[in-house]
Chains A and B, each alone.
Chain A
């Protein structure tokens, strides 16, 4: 299962990277969302998958899945949510100010 999940994470990454390389700002934002999904899956896979019960203490249960990656992912989900929403608003404002969301038209002037 871990190998399959690694391949899935890789696929999400590949799709995310491809989107980031596009010209439209919107696609780049979509790409970052895919990238963070891929990264979360990656962290989860790095712990072991499906080795016991959910990490909530119960009488008589000895075997739990690894809780540490889950805590890490939880933190990461929240942070990437913050960043994605910020990026979205940034894209919105960029479009409003510049009337375009094509990256090659959003270059700075030559003097910079």
Chain B
């Protein structure tokens, strides 16, 4: 069954183009809308099964030989994410119908969106790690396509490229982790890995696995120091930002950490890295958010910060923290999704998202403004129990306080956590207030707006309305989803199904509430004086921002690779030949040295006779003399001396056929040289510097010496007799000829000869073609 669920969006993506081509009048989104709605209902219908503590699963073969199966299963954690993906997916599709005009390339948009939806479902439902990775990269690619939807804008392509580079970098390191994990656990299934937990933790690969996996999770979930792609991804259409970059895709990293926390949690490294990075991200994101001027920029940094908070709680790893994390995943999806949609509405109705040009919109857009107030107050965790964000933030404080009891070792670190949590929350409060009050209260600056603002169409308001409805509903009745959704999800992260009652109101006498009150008090002061201290941000140099680091890495890589390529790809043949020869000489020499390959034996040598030595000497002298020849005729003669000398040697060494051929070929070659040289310029004296000459000399001599050494060693270490006895014995018997060389050429090894003829023929044709056919530009000259 689960296969069909995952396949459905992909199928719809295939078919949507056909439908859209046929029906022009209806917005394509209406045909897409049923897909997530149906899926949402289907997932809801599985809730009773999960509540009984069972799981839904289905398996199909994909690559059985590699133990890669399309095995999917639905437990509490997957259910929570599936509901978010399909539920918020439905609302986003509905919103996008009113947000995107029919002039846009809607088919592209919905195809990418459906691809994303299907792959995201694949990520959260996969049991096989490699299937998980496949869908993981699908989400990266579809996210890339969606961010670059308005591909004619430079910022969009920049943002798309950046998110692609960062998330694929993380995806690849995650693949490394998954491979190591499957080696350590000897299985590809996540559930079996969890069963083999002790083997993984005790293996030597544990630390690399953990680090690589967390890099994957941190890049996807925009954790420090990989967070800088998320603000740039805000160039995407707002429905995409609401869906991918607040509710679903950025939580894929959270999902990954939660999914594997049954293996890792409880280890010190996991706690320190995950909670540490989460806290840094929480504080950094919230501090940077109040610096932004773009509505979506504020929301992007706010998402970073909230994800950091969830990550921190997952790092704590105890029961209450996990429940708080799961609860906050749900809550964040509701209020952040609605806030993005409202930012989109503001953009849509006023023509700008710049908070400096906005203000006083409450009069013009009362419904949106009210929704935004609810969303932002929930995000800030204002201590009123009608906001779900408040409840999960209380639990966050609570779990950070109880940490010392559960994990004793990192005492010093753990003591600071509540303080950092409060600081992060204060700034969360500040930017939340900055966001809504800056946009909706104060004086309206109508002259700076492109359009006269007015309330959005009702269709656009439905989705944020539903989401805010959840914010309030869960705020008032937190136990509504507790038993059915949250408890099974916590059970699949921590391993035991312990039902915790979510308190609606803790009473006044508890520390978390006091922490919240501190947050509100300090936050209000800071928010009211925001204008005064905001310039501090300008004094902090941007030099150390991760954005700059990303830029310098990308630019540095491009610069370095172009330098490197230019260094050796100079276009000079001499350099290329030198590199090839030097490599040849060095590698062969090392090989000979290492294997002790040089041998010299005087046992089996032919006697030295004077005529041969004389001819050899003449050849050597002639060969060396060619280097200094400046006369063309002299050069040809000297080359001829070498060639004819060689044919003489062939005579001495009893190779009549070779001598004959060499004589003829040498004659023709000399004639050819003579023919060509008449048309070529004179030989010139080398104008090279002495140092260049020295290099050439060293290369030449070492190549020659290497060849000599190889020849001598090869000759001195013969391991078996030649096979030529067979040719001698059978030349007449089988080949019917006395001349053994000729019988070999045309009979025993006739194929060589066939293709040697082909080579000659091709050379001849090539020469004819070169001489006869010239391009027209040449003829005109």
Query: Which A residues form the contact surface with B (CB < 8 A)?
Result: 1-24, 26-28, 30, 33-34, 37-38, 40-42, 44-58, 64-68, 70-71, 73-75, 77-79, 81-86, 88-93, 95-97, 100-104, 107-108
* B408 contacts across to A, CB distance below 8 A: none
Contact B605 A71 (CB under 8 A): no
Closest residue of A by beta carbon distance from B681: A101
Contact A10 B745 (CB under 8 A): no
Q: Which residues of B, 705-719, contact A by the 8 Å Cβ criterion? A: 705-708, 711-712, 714-715
User: Contact check: which of B687, B696, B728, B766 meets A64 at CB < 8 Å?
Assistant: B728
Contact A1 B574 (CB under 8 A): no
Contact B715 A1 (CB under 8 A): no
* A57 contacts across to B, CB distance below 8 A: 728, 731-732, 738-740
Contact B760 A77 (CB under 8 A): no
> Which of B237-245, B344-352, B635-643 lies on the face that meets chain A?
B635-643
* B208 contacts across to A, CB distance below 8 A: none
With A55-B740, A56-B739, A85-B763 as contacts: A8 and B619 at CB distance below 8 Å:
yes
User: Contact check: which of A15, A27, A77, A79 meets B624 at CB < 8 Å?
Assistant: A15
With A41-B646, A85-B672 as contacts: A5 and B665 at CB distance below 8 Å:
no
Shortest distance from the beta carbon of A87 to any chain B beta carbon, whole Å: 10
Binary contact readout B502-542 vs A (1 if CB under 8 angstroms, 0 otherwise): 00000000000000000000000000000000000000000
Closest residue of A by beta carbon distance from B748: A71
Closest residue of B by beta carbon distance from A109: B571
* B668 contacts across to A, CB distance below 8 A: 81, 85
Contact B626 A30 (CB under 8 A): yes
Closest residue of A by beta carbon distance from B749: A71
Contact A26 B683 (CB under 8 A): yes
Q: Across the A-B interface, how many residue pairs have beta carbons closer than 8 Å?
A: 270
* B653 contacts across to A, CB distance below 8 A: 44, 49-50, 65
Contact B658 A10 (CB under 8 A): no
Closest residue of B by beta carbon distance from A12: B623
With A17-B700, A19-B626, A85-B763 as contacts: A37 and B643 at CB distance below 8 Å:
yes
Shortest distance from the beta carbon of B718 to any chain A beta carbon, whole Å: 9
A44 and B714 CA atoms in complex are apart in Å by 13
14 A-B pairs besides A77-B661, A78-B665 with CB distance below 8 A are A2-B606, A5-B649, A8-B616, A18-B699, A30-B635, A44-B650, A48-B606, A50-B653, A66-B724, A71-B744, A78-B756, A82-B759, A89-B771, A102-B684
> Is B573 in contact with chain A by the CB < 8 A criterion?
yes
Closest residue of B by beta carbon distance from A50: B606
Contact A15 B626 (CB under 8 A): yes
Contact A34 B639 (CB under 8 A): yes
> Is B318 in contact with chain A by the CB < 8 A criterion?
no
Binary contact readout B692-708 vs A (1 if CB under 8 angstroms, 0 otherwise): 00001101110111111
Contact B623 A15 (CB under 8 A): yes
Please classify the interface of chain B as helix (H, G, I), strand (E, B), loop, or mixed, using the class held by over half of its residues: helix
A84 and B763 CA atoms in complex are apart in Å by 9
A37 and B705 CA atoms in complex are apart in Å by 16
Contact B680 A95 (CB under 8 A): yes
> Is B608 in contact with chain A by the CB < 8 A criterion?
yes
Binary contact readout B379-412 vs A (1 if CB under 8 angstroms, 0 otherwise): 0000000000000000000000000000000000
User: Contact check: which of B571, B656, B676 meets A91 at CB < 8 Å?
Assistant: B676
Contact B673 A1 (CB under 8 A): no
Contact A19 B711 (CB under 8 A): no
Contact B722 A103 (CB under 8 A): no
User: Contact check: which of B632, B741, B756, B764 meets A55 at CB < 8 Å?
Assistant: B741
User: Contact check: which of A33, A73, A92 meets B676 at CB < 8 Å?
Assistant: A92
* B652 contacts across to A, CB distance below 8 A: 50
* A77 contacts across to B, CB distance below 8 A: 658, 661-662, 665
* A79 contacts across to B, CB distance below 8 A: 756, 759-760
Contact A74 B712 (CB under 8 A): no
Shortest distance from the beta carbon of A16 to any chain B beta carbon, whole Å: 8
Shortest distance from the beta carbon of A100 to any chain B beta carbon, whole Å: 8
A70 and B547 CA atoms in complex are apart in Å by 69
A47 and B687 CA atoms in complex are apart in Å by 42
Contact A51 B662 (CB under 8 A): no
* B150 contacts across to A, CB distance below 8 A: none
Query: Which B residues form the contact surface with A (CB < 8 A)?
Result: 571-574, 577-578, 581, 600, 602, 604-609, 612-613, 616, 619-620, 623-624, 626-627, 632, 635, 639, 642-643, 646, 649-650, 652-658, 661-662, 665, 668-669, 672-673, 676-677, 679-681, 683-684, 686-688, 696-697, 699-701, 703-708, 711-712, 714-715, 722-724, 727-728, 731-732, 738-741, 744-745, 749, 752-753, 756, 759-760, 762-764, 766-767, 770-771, 778
A21 and B607 CA atoms in complex are apart in Å by 36
- Can you sample 26 A-B contacts with CB below 8 Å? A7-B708, A10-B707, A10-B708, A20-B577, A21-B577, A28-B573, A30-B639, A37-B646, A44-B649, A44-B658, A46-B714, A52-B654, A53-B654, A54-B656, A55-B740, A68-B723, A71-B745, A73-B655, A82-B760, A82-B762, A82-B763, A85-B763, A85-B767, A96-B679, A97-B778, A103-B573
Closest residue of A by beta carbon distance from B656: A54
Shortest distance from the beta carbon of A17 to any chain B beta carbon, whole Å: 4
Shortest distance from the beta carbon of A69 to any chain B beta carbon, whole Å: 9
* B632 contacts across to A, CB distance below 8 A: 26
With A20-B577, A78-B665 as contacts: A103 and B572 at CB distance below 8 Å:
yes
Contact A104 B608 (CB under 8 A): no
With A40-B646, A68-B727 as contacts: A27 and B581 at CB distance below 8 Å:
no
Contact A64 B763 (CB under 8 A): no
* A37 contacts across to B, CB distance below 8 A: 623, 642-643, 646
A59 and B61 CA atoms in complex are apart in Å by 74
* B612 contacts across to A, CB distance below 8 A: 1, 4
User: Contact check: which of A1, A11, A21, A81 meets B608 at CB < 8 Å?
Assistant: A1
Contact A70 B608 (CB under 8 A): no
With A45-B715, A57-B731 as contacts: A70 and B657 at CB distance below 8 Å:
yes
Closest residue of B by beta carbon distance from A103: B573
Contact B635 A44 (CB under 8 A): no
A104 and B624 CA atoms in complex are apart in Å by 24
Contact B740 A18 (CB under 8 A): no
A9 and B530 CA atoms in complex are apart in Å by 86
Shortest distance from the beta carbon of B733 to any chain A beta carbon, whole Å: 10
A47 and B704 CA atoms in complex are apart in Å by 20
User: Contact check: which of B658, B676, B688, B756 meets A89 at CB < 8 Å?
Assistant: B676
Shortest distance from the beta carbon of A3 to any chain B beta carbon, whole Å: 6
A33 and B749 CA atoms in complex are apart in Å by 26
A8 and B759 CA atoms in complex are apart in Å by 29
